[in-house]
A = this chain, B = another copy of it.
Amino acid sequence: MSEDAVSEDRYWKSSVSEITGDSVVIRGYRLDDLIGSSFTAATYLLIRGELPTAGQARVLDAILTAVLDYALEKPGTVAARFVVSSNPSMQAGLAAAALAAGEYSLAPEATARFTTRVYEQYVASASNDMRAFARTIVEDLRSRKERIPGLGHPVFKQIDPRAQVLRKIAVDEGVWSDAATLYEAIHAEFTSLPGKADIPINDVGMMALLCVSLGFTPEEATALAVIGTLPGVVAHISEELSSGRRIRVLQAKDVDYDVPRRELGSSEHSS
């Protein structure tokens, strides 16, 4: 904290870092002392405000490596390659990739928000029967025709192996929250419904459970998914920049164009 008493009404407040005469203090530690420590530990420190235990750092590594790359079948990667094929700027490509994280991919936010919310309800209910509580949640969702985020995968049935690796690391390191257990209970109730037996928790869903267990907010869960995917994006951008091609297009053979042919008549044109 600054030496002098600060007024209460300054427009901005921050507890992340502060510039001092000869260094930068990051969440309490001098930057000079942090340089060279593991980037994963530094990531935890910056966002959570404390250095992680070894177990917490390992779980964060698992989160950050959960979705490293997905070839040219990840929209953000492809968007980045198109962008740099016209504007050969690394930053522009990285920004485009980050912007592609969202509702349909790479955003554990929805699952994290759901898990946090139902766990708060569970605690508030003072119930001591998690399974019964999970059943009411599933029934309630069904009655409102809402889906449970974080479930299902086009390829994997019953078990998503990547999700299981993530789960095992969290349990082994003692980082598995009651909120995550509740989500699994809800999943168990859901899969006991007719026709739902083979719907697993998917990797992004499990990533969300680990983020919640470490105390990250839903938005921070999405940020970690984005950061985890950026090294792959860098690799693809480098590949594109050195490809010798410029101005990538969608090849005409892959597009159905259905554009009419018309003539500008003097009567119809407003300009």
CB within 8 Å of B: which residues of A?
Answer: 1-2, 6-8, 10-19, 21-29, 31-43, 46-47, 49, 51-54, 56-58, 60-62, 64-66, 68-76, 78-80, 82-83, 85-96, 98-107, 109, 155, 161-162, 165-166, 169, 217, 219-220, 222-224, 226-228, 230-232, 234-239, 241, 243, 246-251, 253-264, 268-271
Contact = CB atoms under 8 A, between A and B. Distances in A.
Contacts of A60: 39
A96 B79 CA distance: 8
A73 to B, nearest CB: 4
B86 A256 contact: no
A96 B83 contact: yes
Number of copies of this chain that the complex holds: 4
Given A26-B68, A86-B101, 9 more contacts: A12-B255, A13-B255, A36-B165, A52-B270, A75-B86, A78-B82, A83-B96, A220-B238, A227-B230
Contacts of A54: 270
A265 to B, nearest CB: 9
15 contacts: A14-B255, A14-B256, A17-B69, A26-B232, A37-B61, A37-B269, A39-B39, A40-B40, A40-B271, A61-B271, A79-B80, A91-B92, A92-B95, A93-B99, A219-B241
A102 B88 contact: yes
Contact of A104 (B39, B51, B87): B87
Nearest to A105: B86
Contact of A6 (B16, B102, B256, B261): B256
Interface centre among A60, A68, A165 (most CB of B within 10 A): A68
Given A65-B34, A78-B250, A261-B25, A88 B103 contact: yes
A79 B2 CA distance: 24
Contact of A33 (B14, B29, B53, B264): B264
Given A29-B264, A234-B47, A241-B219, A69 B24 contact: yes
A238 B219 contact: yes
Contact of A254 (B11, B165, B227): B11
Contacts of A41: 269-271
